[in-house]
């Protein structure tokens, strides 16, 4: 049994930067982004379900340059620390063609409890709780995280500009911030 995503049939070019224990080097991530910058075309979409709470200026700059120079769209997971996304790299990147994505909770009008928040840098929200995903051990598994939300937005971007359907709210930033929810129907 497989999993059908938002953009079924889309060509996917995986670029691995982490090992089997989810560890990797910053230089490997930068090299991967630079590789994309050399091969991407306008309209291509890059999903970056990666990041963390330590600012990594080299990654941030590589994404900004790649998005600017290629016209490709970069979708970045906001992070799962239940904190301000601007403290996470590369979620904090704010540039044309860069979309930072937070995760919807089970109540599809609020952010997931784990999701980072803050506008800016977050642009949109997408489903990120109990998402059916392929398991590295075979079969499928239910997963949650902004790394599950970001691919929804990446798939939607393959069809052109994002369409939204309402807003998710969060009071964790003490501003009752509203985040546009991306429409992600399977086409």
Q: Minimum mean pLDDT among 16-20, 52-56, 91-95, 135-139: which range?
A: 135-139
* pTM of the predicted structure, to 2 decimals: 0.93
Other C-beta atoms closer than 10 Å to the C-beta of 186 total 9
pLDDT of residue 174 exceeding 80, the answer is no
CA-to-CA dists, residue 1 to 12, 24, 50, 109, 130, angstroms: 19, 30, 26, 30, 17
Is residue 29 within 8 A of residue 181, CB to CB? The reply is no
| Confidence at residue 70, expressed as pLDDT on a 0 to 100 scale | 96
Whether residue 37 is predicted with pLDDT greater than 50 in this model: the reply is: yes
Alpha helices in the chain (DSSP H): 26-39, 57-70, 146-157
Quick one: pLDDT band at residue 16, thresholds 50, 70, 90? very high
Residues 48-63 have pLDDT tens digits of 999 999 889 999 999 9
Q: What is the pLDDT of residues 91-103, one digit of tens each?
A: 999 999 999 999 9
For residue 6, how far is the Cα from the chain centroid?
A: 14
Q: What pLDDT does 187 receive?
A: 44
Residue 10 CB partners (closer than 8 Å, separation 6+): 155, 158
């Amino acid at each position: 049994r497989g999993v059908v995503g938002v953009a079924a049939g889309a060509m996917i070019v995986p670029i691995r930067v982490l090992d089997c224990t989810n560890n990797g080097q910053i230089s490997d991530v930068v090299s991967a982004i630079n590789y994309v910058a050399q091969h991407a075309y306008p309209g291509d979409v890059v999903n970056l379900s990666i990041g963390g709470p330590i600012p990594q200026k080299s990654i941030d700059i590589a994404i900004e340059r790649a998005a600017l120079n290629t016209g490709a769209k970069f979708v970045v997971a906001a992070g799962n620390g239940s904190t301000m996304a601007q403290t996470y790299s590369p979620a904090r990147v704010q540039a044309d063609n860069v979309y930072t994505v937070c995760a919807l909770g089970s109540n599809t009008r609020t952010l997931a409890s784990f999701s980072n928040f803050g506008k800016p840098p977050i642009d949109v929200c997408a489903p990120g709780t109990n998402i059916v995903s392929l398991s590295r051990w075979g079969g499928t598994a239910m997963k949650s995280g902004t790394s599950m939300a970001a691919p929804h937005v990446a798939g939607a971007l393959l069809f052109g500009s994002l369409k939204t359907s309402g807003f998710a709210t969060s009071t964790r930033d003490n501003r009752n911030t509203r985040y546009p929810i991306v429409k992600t129907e399977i086409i």
